[in-house]
Each structure stands twice: as structure tokens, then as C-alpha cells.
């Protein structure tokens, strides 16, 4: 049976943009599982599956509902052990948590601020009102002020990618010779930026950009099929 992936979208239902939903989509593709993306605006999330979740991604696999990208990856590896592993063992499961927190602190911190208005502008009308209220409450200032200085801060952002860049001189993926869920964790953040904003956060010639391009080509170029925002 086809797995359902409830997937965050804005006004364009064909442009899923949530970094966490992209992690789950890549994990499903990695396992070679058939899945269908259910386009879900922010304000529809509480209504899906009879209010089963406050967050997406949420997957339905037969009778089973699983929310949260990391939980989904753990579930898929446990439920489908004969398909390609997402973690490469217990050590990989644990260390993927470190990659997750590094990505959250280092990438989401910058991207979430720099592209906040781009996200807002690509949401449907009801979602825009929700988004403004929730984010202005979280950040304590008008949405419009969040991206200020994003050009000036870009060099610092690039510098903070150095652990990833440096590691890529040893191996082509964070998971080693082949990608694992840890790659999709980091990929999700850059894909979020790619599909939601024309502001380019990765530089030509950066090994991180080359790695990102390799990820876009995975699974028959699934993630590249959503064009970059123009």
C-alpha cells in the first residue's frame, strides 16, 4: 500500500518546502517505498488524520501514523529492515542526532531568518496570517525585519559550514560513500532555501554546493524535480 506523506506547502501545492518534510521524503525514496505527498498548508495541519498531529511531516503507513522526520526515519528502518539502511547501525542512529542538532543550530538559524519573508510571501492567505502571528510571537519583531543584513551575514554562514566542507574532502557524503539519513537532514535545510527563495545561500565552487547537487540527483533526481524558486 502506498504510504501517505503529509507535506507542508504554500500557495503552490506543487512546491513542498518544509526542510523536515524533505528529510522524510528523501528517507522514503531512499528505502525505495512508494509514497504519495499530500499537500498540506500550515493551517490545515491540525485537521489532518482527525487531529492526530500538530506537526508535519506525518506519514500514514497502513494503520500506522508516525510524525517527526527523525521518528519517521527510525520507523522506516525498523519496519523495512531488508531495504537500504538509513543509519548504517546503532552508532549512525546516535550520531545522526548530532548532525541534526548541528543542522538545526547552524543552518536553520540563518536560513529561517534570512528567508522568512520569502516563506511568508509564498504562503496562501490564511497561512500568511497564521505565520505572521506565530513567528512574530516567537521572534518578538516584525517579520519584515528578520531578513535584514542577510547579505552581510552570508560570509559568516559560509564559514560555519566548514566542518561539513572539510569532511567532504574525506568522503562524498556524510554517510560515507553513499548517503544516509544524516545527509537528508542537512539536505532538507538547503532544499528549503532552494525552493522557497531566489536568494542564493550556496556559492559556486564550494564543495558543500557540489554535495548538495549530488543529493539533488539522488533517487532519480526527485528533489530537483521541484525547480528552484525564481
Which residues of the shown chain bind its own copies in the complex (CB under 8 A)? 85, 87-102, 104-106, 162-164, 166-167, 170-171, 173-177, 180, 182
Nearer to its own copies, 5 or 99 (CB): 99
Min dist. Cβ of residue 182 to its own copies (A): 6
Could you tell me the smallest distance in angstroms from the CB atom of residue 78 to its own copies?
15
Min separation Cβ 106 and its own copies, Å: 7
Residue nearer to its own copies on the CB measure, 40 or 69? 69
41 or 109, CB closer to its own copies?
109
| Smallest distance from its own copies to CB 179, Å | 10
Report the residue number, 107 or 195, with the smaller CB distance to its own copies.
Answer: 107
**What span, in angstroms and rounded, lies between the C-alpha atoms of 79 and 177?**
24
**Cα–Cα dist 164/140, whole Å:** 32
Cβ within 8 Å of residue 15, ≥6 positions away: 9, 122, 195, 196, 226, 229
* Closest to its own copies by CB, 125 or 177: 177
Task: Give least dist CB 124 to its own copies, A.
Answer: 32
Q: How far is the CB of 120 from its own copies (least distance, A)?
A: 26
What is the three-state SS of the chain?
Answer: CCEEEEEECCCCCCCCCCHHHHHHHHHHHHCCCCEEEEEECHHHHHHHHHCCCCCCCEEEECCEEEECHHHHHHHHHHHCCCCCCCCCCHHHHHHHHHHHHHHHHHHHHHHHHHCHHHHHHCCCHHHHHHHHHHHHHHHCCCHHHCCCCHHHHHHHHHHHCHHHHHHCCCCCECCECCCCHHHHHHHHHHHHHHHHCCCCCCCCCCHHHHHHHHHHHHHHHCHHHCCCCC
Q: Residue 22 or 87: which CB sits closer to its own copies? A: 87
Amino acid at each position: 500500500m502506498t504510504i501517505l506523506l503529509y507535506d507542508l506547502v504554500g500557495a503552490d501545492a506543487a512546491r513542498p518546502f518544509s526542510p523536515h518534510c524533505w528529510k522524510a521524503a528523501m528517507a522514503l525514496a531512499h528505502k525505495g517505498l512508494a509514497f504519495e505527498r499530500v499537500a498540506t498548508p500550515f493551517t490545515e495541519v491540525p485537521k489532518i488524520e482527525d487531529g492526530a498531529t500538530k506537526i508535519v511531516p506525518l506519514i500514514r503507513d497502513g494503520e500506522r501514523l508516525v510524525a517527526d522526520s527523525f521518528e519517521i526515519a527510525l520507523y522506516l528502518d525498523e519496519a523495512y529492515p531488508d531495504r537500504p539502511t538509513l543509519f548504517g547501525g546503532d552508532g549512525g542512529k546516535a550520531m545522526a542526532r548530532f548532525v541534526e542538532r548541528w543542522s538545526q543550530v547552524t543552518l536553520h538559524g540563518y536560513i529561517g531568518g534570512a528567508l522568512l519573508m520569502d516563506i511568508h510571501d509564498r504562503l496562501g492567505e490564511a497561512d500568511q496570517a497564521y505565520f505572521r502571528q506565530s513567528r512574530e510571537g516567537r521572534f518578538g519583531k516584525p517579520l519584515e525585519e528578520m531578513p535584514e543584513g542577510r547579505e552581510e551575514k552570508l560570509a559568516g554562514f559560509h564559514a560555519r559550514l566548514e566542518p561539513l566542507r572539510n569532511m567532504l574532502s574525506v568522503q562524498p557524503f556524510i554517510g560515507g560513500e553513499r548517503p544516509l539519513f544524516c545527509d537528508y537532514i542537512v539536505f532538507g535545510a538547503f532544499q528549503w532555501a532552494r525552493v522557497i527563495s531566489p536568494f542564493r545561500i550556496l556559492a559556486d565552487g564550494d564543495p558543500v554546493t557540489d554535495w548538495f547537487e549530488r543529493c539533488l540527483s539522488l533517487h532519480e533526481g526527485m528533489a530537483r524535480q521541484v525547480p528552484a524558486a525564481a
